[in-house]
Amino acid sequence: MHRIDLAQATSKPLDLDPDGRIVAEWANTHNEPFTLVLDGPAGGHYRAGSGGEHVHMDAIEFCRILAERGHGTGIGRHTLPL
């Protein structure tokens, strides 16, 4: 998150790659089914269980919500422990 914050504050480009570890850690904290589609260079498609909520958003905004730097609803209300 610090890299994202610095890039936004300085208007510098941010080199990102998809990394499912954050999504996996988040999914293990709440154990609810979901389908998650993240846009952008760090995006991807993730799913846990079946019949859960479908969420489609920007990958950086998703990380900001997990870090409590943004507000999420539904399945997005779950943040990562600090």
Tokens of 45: 């498609």
Residue 42 lies in a domain: yes
Range of 42's domain?
16-77
Residue 69 lies in a domain: yes
Residue 9 lies in a domain: no
Backbone phi and psi for residue 46, each to the nearest 5 degrees, phi listed first: -135, 150
Query: Structural domain tally of the chain?
Result: 1
Residue 25 lies in a domain: yes
Residue 82 lies in a domain: no
pLDDT digits (tens, 9 = 90+) for 17-44: 777 788 988 999 999 999 999 998 889 9
Q: Shortest CA distance to 72 belongs to which of 58, 44, 51, 2? A: 58
pLDDT digits (tens, 9 = 90+) for 62-71: 988 998 989 9
